[in-house]
Structure 1
Amino acid sequence: MPDIDKQKIVSSVPQKGFFGHPRGLFTLFFTEFWERFSYYGMRAILVFYMYYELTEGGLGIDKNVSLAIMSIYGSLVYMSGIIGGWLADRVMGNSKAVFYGGIFIMLGHIILAIPGDLTLFFISLSFIVLGTGMLKPNVSNIVGDIYSEADNRRDAGFSIFYMGINLGGFVAPLVIGTIGMNYNFHLGFGLAAVGMFFGILVFMFTRKKNLGLAGTFVPNPLSAQEKKVVYTLFSLGAVVIAVVLAITISIGLFTFNTFTALIGILGIVIPTCYFFVMYRSKKTTATERSRLIAYIPLFITSVMFWAIQEQGSTILANYADQRTQLDFAGIHISPAWFQSLNPLFIIVFAPVFALMWVKLGNRQPSIPTKFSLGLLLAGLSFLVILLPAILGGSQSLVNPLWLVLSYFIVVLGELCLSPVGLSATTKLAPAAFSAQTMSLWFLSNAAAQAINAQIVKFYTPETEMIYFGVIGAVAFLISLVLFALAPKIEHYMKGVR
């Protein structure tokens, strides 16, 4: 997309009106608030729904298999951002992708709210995966569109946007988690559908006035000839996949373990191919190629960070349910409530970090340095959670404050890495691949959860010290390497801070 179009987009957006930021931030803040309410609310009870017995309202799936399914689902949610980013860049633009994505998410939650068998369960997850892939990267990309590249409010704006994400994530486990765990899982899933419906309404009725042209451009539209080729390849690909699945399933080659391994491979191969294609594209300038090289170590760091953070909905959720003393200070704690801790701490500290970056201005740490600090803190959060086993053994119930402390530390790391990563992605992305580069950012989460699907099976109460210790130590090591390479990475960023 030419620079003149970028400036035209910024000029079309009212630049004051939401905490000193562009008015469009209001629309994006509350659209994402309701989308995250639906996503995190469903996720707060999903793993319990899978491994609780049929008599308890669950599906009765084996616990280790449930943890792996949860990681695979999370990986596919972010991996599907490839589809959403491509559709936005080549076919419909960000705004339409956000709208249609919300529709798919709502339908998925409606299906999940209907009691049924495993087939219906996986169909509902498929809708949510596709819808989130269309909505999630594109709503973030629109945030980048409403600021000029030189606007010092950009990082602070992403931090405020990130606070909206986590406000929805905080409320959801308390509301949906309580109803789902205490009354009925399907009623909880139904509330998630209602939340997404509200998000669609907010976006529909405020986008024209608040967003102007943001999200309406198609940066790299398909030509008529390209459309024929793409649609033909898509149709043939769908047929080939269907035939291969039918054959491999019928002869017993396609199993759950095979699928888990496949997702693990795709989690690494797909982003690698993305980097290669964007780097080799004739539409990518020399400066943009240099910035892509700088983006690679940031991406790797992000994978390691999310591999730790995303275990809050798998390993730490199970830890809360099985290893934590849930009767504390005179109240009974629902294990789903712990998943509100991460967004709660972000709500409290995101404004602090946003203000800190603004106050520091050009004196703030560089993007690679912020990433390094974020991963360092993530590693520390895992080293903290192994301490109860050292002090009291692996069989005794753990004081819930240890879990609270672990969530708190990883949140500090998240605020150094995640909103900064969103902002960095919009600044380092090649113009012709803007939405797809945002999808690439979310692929770091997909890769992390694909890896998690392979390693969660090694966690047991007996191995938890080794499990948390090894992962925490690896995070420490990668963070130190990134810190040492920060000056070199900054050189390749070509003036982007």
Structure 2
Amino acid sequence: MSDSNKQKIVASVPQQGFFGHPKGLFTLFFTEFWERFSYYGMRAILVFYMYYEVSKGGLGLDETTALAIMSIYGSLVYMSGIIGGWLADRIFGTSKAVFYGGILIMFGHIALAIPGNLTMFFVSMVLIVLGTGLLKPNVSSIVGDIYSEEDNRRDAGFSIFYMGINLGGFLAPLIVGTVGMKYNFHLGFGIAAVGMFLGLLVFIFTKKKNLGLAGTFVANPLSPAEKKKVFTLIGVGAALIAVLIAIAIPMDLLTFDSFIALVGILGIVIPVIYFIVMYRSPKTTAIERSRVIAYIPLFIASVMFWAIQEQGSTILANYADKRTQLDFAGIHLSPAWFQSLNPLFIILFAPVFAWLWVKLGSRQPSIPKKFSLGLLFAGLSYIVILLPAYLGGNDSLVNPLWLVLSYLIVVFGELCLSPVGLSATTKLAPAAFSAQTMSLWFLSNAAAQAINAQIVKFYTPETEMMYFGVIGGAAIFLGILLFALSPKIEGYMKGVK
């Protein structure tokens, strides 16, 4: 997108009206709030739905398989952002991508709400994966569009936006989780569908007044000749994939294990290809190439961080269900409620971190140093959760406060890394790849969960000390290394603070 178009967008957006920020932040805040309500509500009960017995309303899958599928699901959700970013950059812009994505997500939750079998589960997976790929990276890109590049409110704006995400994430497990676990899984999924519908209503009825031109420009549009070629390739590719699947399944070549391995490979290969394409593109300037190089270690750090954080919905969800004392202080806790801890702590501490970055101003840690702090906190969260087994063995139920403390520590890391990473992505992105670079940021989460799908099989109550210790120690080591390399990385950022 050209600088003149960026200026037109900023000029079209009312720059005051939502806690001292552009009015468009209201629309994006509540659209993402309801989308995250639907997604995290579904995710709070999904792993239990997969491995609970059929007699309890579940699918009756093997526990290890359910944990791996959960990680692959998360990986594909973020990996599909490639498609959403490309479509926004090349065909219809970010605003339409958000709308179409919301429609697909809503129907995906409706599919889960229909009592059925494994087939309906996989139908919902496809719809939610594609819908989230369209919506999530592009709604974040629009947040970047409503601020000028010199606006000091940008990082704080992303922190507020991030708080909206987590407000939805906090309420969803309490509401959807309670209904799904206590009454009926499908009724819980139905509530998630209603949440996405409300998000669509907010977006449709407020975008014209609040967002102005934000999301309406196509950053790098296809020419008519390119469109014809691309649509032909898409059609041929889809047909080829369908034929390969039809052949591979009867021959037992496409199984859960082989699919998990394939996604794991794609989770690493696709980001590598993206970096190469952006770096070598003639549309990328010399300064932008330097910034792409600076982005690589940040991406790697993000993968390590999300590998720990995203296990909150797999390993730690299973830990809450199987290893935690759920009768506590006269209350019977639902294992789904622990999924609210991460967003609850972000709601409480996001304003503190937003205030801190503004208060420090030019004295605040650089972007690479904030990332290194994020990794250190993530590693410490896993060191904490191995202590109960060390102190009391692995055959007794654990006080739930250990889980609370682990979630709290990783949240401190998340607030150092995630909203800062969103903001850094909008700053470091080559102009011709603005939405696609945001998709690349979410690919770090996809890569992390693709890796998780391989390593969750090593977790058992007997191996939990080694499991948490090795992963937590690796994060701490990488955080220290990144801190040491920060001055070098800052040099490649070419003026981006």
Number of the residue aligned with 1:293: 293
Number of the residue aligned with 1:343: 343
Number of the residue aligned with 2:332: 332
DSSP 3-state at the match of 1:17: coil
DSSP 3-state at the match of 1:33: helix
Number of the residue aligned with 2:103: 103
Partners of 1:255 and 1:326 lie apart in 2 by: 36
Structure 1: 5+ residue stretches without partners: none
Opposite residue 44 of structure 1, the aligned amino acid is: A
DSSP 3-state at the match of 2:415: helix
Opposite residue 145 of structure 1, the aligned amino acid is: D
DSSP 3-state at the match of 2:249: helix
Number of the residue aligned with 1:74: 74
Opposite residue 115 of structure 1, the aligned amino acid is: P
**Number of residue pairs the alignment of both structures matches:** 497
Number of the residue aligned with 2:362: 362
Task: Verify: 1:136 aligned to 2:136, yes or no.
Answer: yes
Aligned CA-pair RMSD: 0.4
Partners of 1:314 and 1:121 lie apart in 2 by: 18
Task: Please give the residue correspondences for 1:123-162 in structure 2 after superposition, counting only pairs within 5 Å.
Answer: 123-162=123-162
Task: Verify: 1:428 aligned to 2:445, yes or no.
Answer: no
Task: Please give the residue correspondences for 1:20-419 in structure 2 after superposition, counting only pairs within 5 Å.
Answer: 20-419=20-419
Partners of 1:253 and 1:70 lie apart in 2 by: 21
Number of the residue aligned with 1:12: 12
Cα offset for 1:248? Answer: 1.5
Opposite residue 69 of structure 2, the aligned amino acid is: I
Partners of 2:159 and 2:361 lie apart in 1 by: 15
Cα offset for 1:94? Answer: 0.3
Opposite residue 459 of structure 2, the aligned amino acid is: Y
Cα offset for 1:235? Answer: 1.0
Per-residue CA shift, 1:222-269, capped at 9, x if unaligned? 001101110111111111111111111121111111100000000000
Partners of 1:441 and 1:70 lie apart in 2 by: 20
Number of the residue aligned with 1:2: 2
Per-residue CA shift, 1:50-83, capped at 9, x if unaligned? 0000110101000000000000000000000000
Number of the residue aligned with 2:452: 452
Kindly report structure 1 stretches of 4+ aligned residues shifted beyond 2 Å.
Answer: none
TM superposition score normalised by structure 2: 1.00
DSSP 3-state at the match of 1:250: coil
Partners of 1:446 and 1:216 lie apart in 2 by: 27
Cα offset for 1:185? Answer: 0.3
DSSP 3-state at the match of 1:215: coil
Per-residue CA shift, 1:313-353, capped at 9, x if unaligned? 00000000000000000000000000000000000000000
Which shows bigger deviation, 245-254 or 304-313?
A: 245-254
Opposite residue 175 of structure 1, the aligned amino acid is: I
Partners of 2:15 and 2:414 lie apart in 1 by: 28
Number of the residue aligned with 2:475: 475
Opposite residue 84 of structure 2, the aligned amino acid is: G
Per-residue CA shift, 1:7-28, capped at 9, x if unaligned? 1100000000000000000000
Opposite residue 82 of structure 1, the aligned amino acid is: I
Cα offset for 1:120? Answer: 1.0
Cα offset for 1:452? Answer: 0.2
Partners of 1:329 and 1:168 lie apart in 2 by: 26
Cα offset for 1:437? Answer: 0.2
Opposite residue 104 of structure 1, the aligned amino acid is: L
DSSP 3-state at the match of 2:274: helix
Partners of 2:110 and 2:369 lie apart in 1 by: 43
Partners of 1:5 and 1:216 lie apart in 2 by: 10
Opposite residue 130 of structure 1, the aligned amino acid is: L
Partners of 1:285 and 1:312 lie apart in 2 by: 40
Partners of 1:220 and 1:483 lie apart in 2 by: 36
Cα offset for 1:165? Answer: 0.1
Partners of 2:419 and 2:50 lie apart in 1 by: 31
Cα offset for 1:114? Answer: 0.2
Partners of 2:470 and 2:12 lie apart in 1 by: 50
TM superposition score normalised by structure 1: 1.00
Partners of 2:326 and 2:402 lie apart in 1 by: 12
Per-residue CA shift, 1:156-176, capped at 9, x if unaligned? 000000000000000000000
Partners of 1:120 and 1:113 lie apart in 2 by: 9
Partners of 2:251 and 2:452 lie apart in 1 by: 28
Opposite residue 232 of structure 1, the aligned amino acid is: T
Per-residue CA shift, 1:194-225, capped at 9, x if unaligned? 00000000000000000000000000000011
Opposite residue 42 of structure 1, the aligned amino acid is: M
Partners of 1:398 and 1:117 lie apart in 2 by: 34
Number of the residue aligned with 2:484: 484
Opposite residue 148 of structure 2, the aligned amino acid is: S
